[in-house]
């Protein structure tokens, strides 16, 4: 049986960091651990269902690794082919084995990795421990308090009863609950988005309470979002601050990594709704939205917002104390030294467009969900996110045509390139945090974050290849 990406990455990361790195005494060799991690991900996950698009880029993983080596000032010839990469990694294994005579075992491991011999790797090294995980139960709260809150918010004269609570998919910073209620006269269903106590993106994204005015603004202007009911900042009701909204009709067509049943009409609807979002008059709610996004109300423009966003992600990266990663470091270096041209407009952005955050019913787009990464900035940022998945389902230029026909902005393609790097940079940080700080780095493993550290992390390392050529130009002058 082929093991899951989760088990595979666990075995490889365990070997890389726990078995190989501690044996290395040479500083240059230690610096290469990050580059090795990138290379392993590329070798084992270069085919992940996006082969058709990735085929032209597959050979570039060597350039990715050498870019990391240059960044870390590693001397020696830059490996740009698989044989050269094998030779460099073999040299590292020899350095490590020289300290304890374990050359045979380490060489076997290296051969298994380079040949993607999954079974041998898993058989030779420790699997995920079969530990009992004390999982957090999102339904463990006093239903009486929630019933009283619903009655109070809606002015119900009769006592409200909670009939059923269902836990929905809600991301890594929120718990999402569907609540069926009744009072003997009326009944209904509402959705609660509850803030997690230690959300992975608390420093860079909206809290649940700050997401509420953004959604309410979008609703007022006719965007397809669930109707917003109220925000409750007090944690005592259900164990955390939350917002209450309607349960929108429809279902997602897939995840962030792919979808089914997508045709041109589906893609056209996304383009049209995106143009509508980008044309919303956000300045009419300047004070309220500035407070939600933690931006200075007297100076909101795409350039200032980008600078603030980069500072926040850099701070999160530094605080997370992640292992060295040339992919992340090279991405940040590019972002700081190649700022895009002045934005054609400053817009309200969704920030995480994808089929995991869109609901459809009978072929019609019914709702945009999960606005925690929303921001105000360059429309190129949302378009860069779209470009990561649109070509899987329709022609990119056709999608842009639909967007422009619906009133969307004419954006410099180089700005879309820039924000493509920003997208991957931020997602690599999230993936590494999911693995290193939220799963492997905690006394009690949070098993849900293994998804981030496994297939999601591998997916974005794969996506990183599409940015290699852009990042390689980081030494050139910034765009005019």
Question: Where residue 259 sits, what CATH number does that domain have?
Answer: 3.90.1200.10
Task: Assess whether pLDDT exceeds 90 at residue 223.
Answer: yes
**H-helix or E-strand spanning residue 162:** strand 161-168
Task: Assess whether pLDDT exceeds 80 at residue 82.
Answer: no
Question: What is the reported pLDDT for 457?
Answer: 73
The pair of structure tokens assigned to 164 is 């059923």
Q: How confident is the model at residue 32 (pLDDT cuts 50, 70, 90)?
A: very low
1-5, 102-106, 135-139, 289-293: segment of lowest average pLDDT: 1-5
Task: Assess whether pLDDT exceeds 80 at residue 60.
Answer: no
Same domain, 233 and 261: no
Residue 132 belongs to a domain:
no
Question: What is the rounded average pLDDT for all residues in the chain?
Answer: 75
Same domain, 299 and 179: no
Residue 392 belongs to a domain:
yes
The pair of structure tokens assigned to 127 is 């699997």
- How many distinct structural domains can be found in the chain? 3
Residue 131 belongs to a domain:
no
Same domain, 240 and 301: no
User: Cα separations (Å) of 276 from 210, 223, 302, 355, 403?
Assistant: 22, 8, 18, 18, 9
Same domain, 287 and 415: yes
Decide which of 78 and 426 is more confident: 426
Task: Assess whether pLDDT exceeds 70 at residue 201.
Answer: yes
pTM of the predicted protein model = 0.72
Task: Assess whether pLDDT exceeds 90 at residue 7.
Answer: no
Question: What is the reported pLDDT for 208?
Answer: 93
Question: What is the reported pLDDT for 191?
Answer: 95
Same domain, 428 and 329: yes
Q: How confident is the model at residue 196 (pLDDT cuts 50, 70, 90)?
A: confident
Same domain, 240 and 281: no
Question: What is the reported pLDDT for 15?
Answer: 53
Question: What is the reported pLDDT for 395?
Answer: 97
Q: What is the pLDDT of residues 351-390, one digit of tens each?
A: 999 998 999 999 999 999 999 999 999 999 999 999 999 9
Contact yes or no for 174/199 (Cβ under 8 A):
yes
Among 199, 228, 246, where does a domain finish? 246
Which residues sit opposite 164 in a β-bridge?
Answer: 180
Contacts 24+ apart (CB under 8 A), 254-259: 254/355, 254/356, 255/354, 255/355, 255/356, 256/354, 256/355, 256/356, 256/456, 256/459, 257/48, 257/49, 257/455, 257/456, 257/459, 258/49, 258/355, 258/392, 259/355, 259/393
Same domain, 217 and 304: no
Residue 282 belongs to a domain:
yes
**CA nearest 417: which of 462, 375, 460, 468?**
468
Same domain, 213 and 103: no
Q: At what angle do helices 264-278 and 396-405 cross, to 10 degrees?
A: 50
Decide which of 260 and 28 is more confident: 260
Among 195, 213, 246, where does a domain finish? 246
d(CA 37, CA 16): 8
Residue 153 belongs to a domain:
yes
Range of the domain at 422: 254-456
Question: What is the reported pLDDT for 282?
Answer: 97
Same domain, 239 and 266: no
Burial bucket for residue 83 (CB in 10 Å: 0-12, 13-18, 19+)? exposed
d(CA 418, CA 397): 18
**H-helix or E-strand spanning residue 122:** helix 118-124
Same domain, 148 and 42: no
Helix, strand, coil percentages, rounded to 5, for the chain? 50, 10, 35
Contact yes or no for 257/270 (Cβ under 8 A):
no
Q: How many residues does the chain have?
A: 480
Residue 471 belongs to a domain:
no
Among 223, 246, 269, where does a domain finish? 246
Q: What is the pLDDT of residues 308-336, one digit of tens each?
A: 999 999 999 999 888 777 778 888 888 99
- CA torsion sign for 290, 295, 299, 301 is negative
Same domain, 332 and 281: yes
Residue 318 belongs to a domain:
yes
Look up the CATH number of the domain holding residue 170. Answer: 3.30.200.20
Q: Which residue has the tokens 């009072």?
A: 183
Buried b (16+ CB within 10 A) or exposed e, 285-313: beeebbebbebeeeebebbebbebbbebb
Question: What is the reported pLDDT for 256?
Answer: 75
Decide which of 231 and 113 is more confident: 231
Same domain, 271 and 321: yes
Contact yes or no for 324/31 (Cβ under 8 A):
yes
Which residues sit opposite 194 in a β-bridge?
Answer: 175, 242
d(CA 328, CA 351): 19
């Amino acid at each position: 049986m082929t093991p899951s990406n989760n088990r595979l990455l666990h075995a490889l990361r365990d070997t890389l960091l726990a078995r190989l790195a501690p044996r290395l005494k040479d500083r240059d060799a230690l610096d290469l651990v990050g580059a090795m991690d990138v290379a392993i991900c590329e070798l084992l996950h270069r085919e992940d269902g996006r082969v058709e698009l990735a085929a032209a880029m597959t050979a570039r993983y060597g350039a990715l690794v050498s870019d990391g080596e240059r960044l870390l000032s590693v001397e020696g010839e830059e490996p740009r082919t698989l044989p050269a990469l094998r030779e460099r990694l073999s040299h590292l294994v020899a350095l490590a084995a020289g300290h304890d005579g374990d050359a045979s075992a380490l060489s076997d491991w290296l051969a298994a990795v380079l040949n993607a011999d999954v079974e041998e790797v898993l058989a030779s090294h420790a699997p995920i421990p079969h530990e009992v995980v004390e999982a957090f139960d999102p339904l463990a709260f006093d239903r009486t308090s929630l019933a009283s809150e619903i009655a109070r918010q809606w002015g119900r004269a009769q006592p409200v009863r909670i009939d059923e609570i269902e836990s929905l998919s809600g991301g890594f910073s929120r718990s999402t609950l569907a609540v069926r209620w009744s009072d003997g006269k009326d009944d209904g269903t509402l959705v609660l988005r509850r803030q997690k106590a230690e959300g992975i993106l608390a420093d860079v994204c909206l809290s649940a309470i700050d997401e509420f005015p953004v959604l309410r603004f979008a609703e007022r202007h006719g965007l397809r979002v669930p109707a917003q009911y109220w925000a409750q900042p007090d944690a005592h009701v259900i164990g955390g601050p939350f917002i209450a909204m309607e349960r929108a009709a429809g279902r997602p067509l897939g995840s962030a990594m792919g979808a089914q049943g997508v045709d041109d009409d589906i893609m056209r609807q996304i383009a049209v709704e995106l143009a509508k979002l980008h044309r919303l008059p956000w300045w009419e709610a300047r004070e309220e939205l500035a407070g939600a996004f933690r931006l200075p109300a007297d100076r909101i423009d795409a350039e200032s917002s980008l600078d603030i966003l980069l500072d926040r992600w850099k701070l999160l990266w530094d605080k997370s104390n992640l292992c060295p990663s040339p992919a992340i470091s090279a991405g940040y270096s590019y972002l700081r030294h190649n700022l895009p041209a002045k934005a054609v407009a400053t817009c309200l952005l969704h920030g995480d467009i994808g089929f995991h955050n869109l609901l459809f019913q009978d072929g019609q787009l019914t709702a945009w969900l999960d606005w925690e990464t929303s921001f105000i900035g360059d429309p190129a940022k949302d378009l860069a996110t779209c470009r990561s998945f649109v070509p899987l389902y329709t022609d990119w230029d056709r999608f842009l045509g639909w967007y422009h026909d619906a009133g969307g902005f004419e954006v410099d393609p180089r700005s879309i390139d820039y924000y493509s790097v920003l997208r991957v940079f931020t997602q690599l940080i999230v993936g590494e945090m999911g693995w290193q700080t939220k799963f492997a780095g905690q006394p009690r493993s949070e098993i849900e974050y293994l998804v981030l550290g496994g297939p999601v992390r591998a997916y974005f390392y794969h996506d990183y290849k599409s940015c290699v050529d852009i990042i390689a130009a980081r030494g050139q002058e910034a765009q005019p």
